[in-house]
Amino acid sequence: MSISNSKPIDRRTVLQTAAASALVISPAIRAVAYAAGSDAPEKTEVKIGFIPLTDCASVVMASVLGIDKKYGVKIIPTKEASWAGVRDKLVTGELDFAHVLYGLIYGVHLGAGGAKKDMAVLMTLNNNGQAITLSKKLAEKGAVDGASLAKLMKSEKREYTFAQTFPTGTHAMWLYYWMAANGINPMTDAKVITVPPPQMVANMRVGNMDGYSVGEPWNHRAIIDGIGVTATTSQDVWKDHPEKVLGTTADFVKKYPNTARAVTAAILEAGKWIDSGLQNKLKMAETIADKSYVNTSVDAINQRILGRYQNGLGKTWDDPNHMKFYADGAVNFPYLSDGMWFMTQHKRWGLIKDHPDYLGVAKQINQIDIYKAAATASKTPLPKEVMRTSKLMDGVVWDGKDPKKYADSFKVKV
C-alpha cells in the first residue's frame, strides 16, 4: 500500500487494506496502530510556526519534500517574527506546533515565560549550531573570546549590552553559562536585552549591543557583513546540546495524539534526509535561504551546516560538532535530563524562585511515548535510557541525578 499521495489515511482505508492482505500494510501504519480505534491523524492539516533560523530546516523540508503526506498530514510552515509571538500563538491555538526554543516551552509551563500553560515537547529538532557573536569594535580592543572579554570589561568600565532571543530560551542560557564560566555575572556585570533572531545583525550594525547569542545564520551573517566575530560556538559550551524542539500544548497532544505522532514521524524522516549527505544539506540550504523561510544568501547558511567555520579574524576550522538534525536518531530523543537542565538554569538565574519538581515536570512535558511510536514509524533508533550524561565547558557534569544540588552549586548565579 502506497501512502505517498496527499489523501489523509482514514480508518476505513487501514482496515480494508489490512483485511485484503496483512503482508502489504505499510510499516508506518502498522508501527503506530493503536490496539483500539484508528491510528489516522485526527487533524490532517497543521500549522507549524518557525523563526527564520537554519534549524527550522527539518520542519520546512518535511513539507517541501512531501514527507508529511506519507504520514497522512499536511504541514503548513508559518513564518513568525519573534519567539514571544510563537509563544502567544501556541498558547492560543493559532499555531498547532512550533519550531521553538527548548527553554521557552519549559518557561511557559512553569509560568516563567508569560502566561502559565501546560506544554509539550515532542522531539528535539537539532543539536549544536548556535554561537555567541561579539562586535568588531570589541574585537579591535582585544575582546575575541570569553577570557579577553572579561579582561576588557574589568579594565574599561562602562555598561556592556548583550542580546539573547527569549528570557528562558536556549540562547539566553548559552550566553549566561559562557559569561559565568569566564567570571562575568550576566545579571550584575552587564545589561541583557531581548532581540528577535533576524534583527540581531541590524541591531549590532547600529551599535545597540556589544554581543549577542543566536542561532545560525545570524552569526555567520555578521562575519560576512564585517560587523562581528564569533567568540564561541554553543557546541563549545555544551557538545551535542539540545536546541530547538517540536513544541505544542498539552491540550493539543491530548486531543490529537495521532496527529502529534504523525507530524513527529514526518519531521524525524526529514531530519534523517538532511543529515544523510552533502547534496541534501546543500539542497536544504538553497531551499531555506529563500525569502519565504530564512531570507538570506545561501552562503550564510551552507558553510556552517557542513562544519566549516571562520571567526571573522582569519581563523578557520572544521568542527565535527556542527548542527545536526538526526545523527542516526541521537539528536531527536526528548531526554528528560535535557528538559531538567533548563529548569536548573532558570533557577540559577532567578527566572523561577523555587526548585520545581524537576523530574516530575520533565515527565509531564516530554512526550516520550508519542516519540517512541513516531520513531518506530520512521525507523529511528531509540536510546536505552531516558536520561543522558554531558560535560559542559567548565568541566561540570550534568546527568540529571541531583538537579537541586546541581542548580545550587554554581558560584556565579543570582
Residue 13 pLDDT greater than 90, yes or no: no
**Measuring CA to CA, which residue among 20, 392, 15, 358 is closest to residue 180?**
392
Average pLDDT, integer, range 120-139: 98
For the cut 70, the answer to whether the pLDDT of residue 10 exceeds it is no
- For residue 100, the Cα-to-chain-centroid distance in whole angstroms is 6
Give, in degrees to the nearest 5, the angle at Cα 267 between 262 and 268: 95
Please tell me the distance from the alpha carbon of residue 124 to that of residue 99, in angstroms, as a whole number.
Answer: 9
Query: Which tens digit of pLDDT belongs to each residue from 238-280?
Result: 999 999 999 999 999 999 999 999 999 999 999 999 999 999 9
Q: Which tens digits make up the pLDDT trace of 78-96?
A: 999 999 999 999 999 999 9
Q: What is the pLDDT of residues 190-222, one digit of tens each?
A: 999 999 999 999 999 999 999 999 999 999 999
Place 115 in a pLDDT band, splitting at 50, 70 and 90. confident
Confidence bin at 306 (pLDDT 50/70/90): very high
CB atoms closer than 10 angstroms to residue 76: 14
Indicate whether 225 pLDDT > 70. Answer: yes
Q: Residue 324 pairs with which residues in a beta bridge?
A: 127
Residues 176-194 have pLDDT tens digits of 999 999 999 999 999 999 9
CB 363 within 8 A of CB 336: yes
Write out pLDDT tens, residues 14-53: 334 333 333 333 444 444 443 345 899 999 999 999 999 9
For residues 11 and 71, which has the higher predicted lDDT (pLDDT)?
Answer: 71
Burial call 122-148: b when 16+ CB within 10 Å, e when fewer: bbbbbbbbbbbbbbbebbeeebbbbeb
Q: What percent of the chain has pLDDT over 70?
A: 91
- Cα 283 to Cα 298: distance, rounded to the nearest angstrom: 10
Closest to 260 (Cα-Cα) out of 79, 48, 78: 48
CB count within 10 Å of CB 84 equals 17
Classified as helix, coil or strand, 50 is strand
pLDDT at res. 27: 42
97: nearest Cα among 68, 59, 64, 52: 59
Q: How far apart are CA 86 and CA 79, in angstroms?
A: 9
**Residue 122 and residue 100: Cα distance in Å, rounded?**
11
**Cα–chain center distance at 246:** 8
When pLDDT is averaged across residues 296-318 and rounded to a whole number, the result is 98
Give me the DSSP letters along 181-212. HTT--TTTSSEEEE--GGGHHHHHHTTS-SEE
> CA 110, CA 62: separation in Å to the nearest integer?
31
| pLDDT for the residue 113 | 74
Percent of the chain with pLDDT over 90: 90
Beta bridge partners of 50: 79
